[in-house]
Amino acid sequence: MNIIKILIALILTVLSVTVSSAAVKESFTLTAGGREYTFTADNESAAREIFAKLPESLTVKEYAGHEYFVELPFRPDIRGEATSKLKAGHIYYWGGGNSFVLNYEDCDIAPYSSLHIGAFDDAEGICEYLRSSGRNITVSVK
């Protein structure tokens, strides 16, 4: 009977560790307009690849009424499933333009597609800021 209890406790411990470690995702902070916005990376390897090499600050440009983007000064070696359906408050990498993209409106960019990097914790807040900003804004990511 004690052996069964020990085995059950061991199995539950292993399952607990597996579930909790899988649930932890890496977070980053984007600073824009004097405010910090935290986002969680869904594609952590792509996020680390891009953000480790970004300059201290960069100027992103508004495009097409739904996004801000900047062409990266390097070409990251990243993989993942791309989508043409972009969501507001999410961050993407567009390989066709080698660009880091901050999306502030839902849109479908077919026939193009982008790699999803992550989502802002305060999607409404960052989208509101981006919608009301000028043509070019300066941001930093850490």
Of residues 99 and 9, which shows the higher confidence score?
A: 99
Long-range CB contact pairs, 98-102, < 8 A, 24+: 98/71, 98/72, 99/69, 99/70, 99/71, 99/72, 100/50, 100/54, 100/58, 100/60, 100/69, 100/70, 100/72, 101/67, 101/68, 101/69, 102/30, 102/60, 102/67, 102/68, 102/69, 102/126, 102/130, 102/139
Q: Is the pLDDT of residue 12 over 50?
A: no
In a domain, 15, yes or no: no
Of residues 106 and 53, which shows the higher confidence score?
A: 106
In a domain, 30, yes or no: yes
Averaged pLDDT score across all residues of the chain: 86
For position 68, which CATH number holds? 2.40.100.20
Q: Write down the pLDDT at residue 79.
A: 86
In a domain, 6, yes or no: no
User: Each residue of 97-114: pLDDT tens digit?
Assistant: 999 999 999 999 999 999
In a domain, 115, yes or no: yes
In a domain, 19, yes or no: no
Q: Write down the pLDDT at residue 1.
A: 55
Q: How confident is the model at residue 132 (pLDDT cuts 50, 70, 90)?
A: very high
In a domain, 82, yes or no: yes
| Structural domain count of the chain | 1
Residues spanned by the domain of 57: 25-141
Q: Write down the pLDDT at residue 92.
A: 96
In a domain, 11, yes or no: no
| Assessment of whether the complete model's pTM goes beyond 0.75 | yes
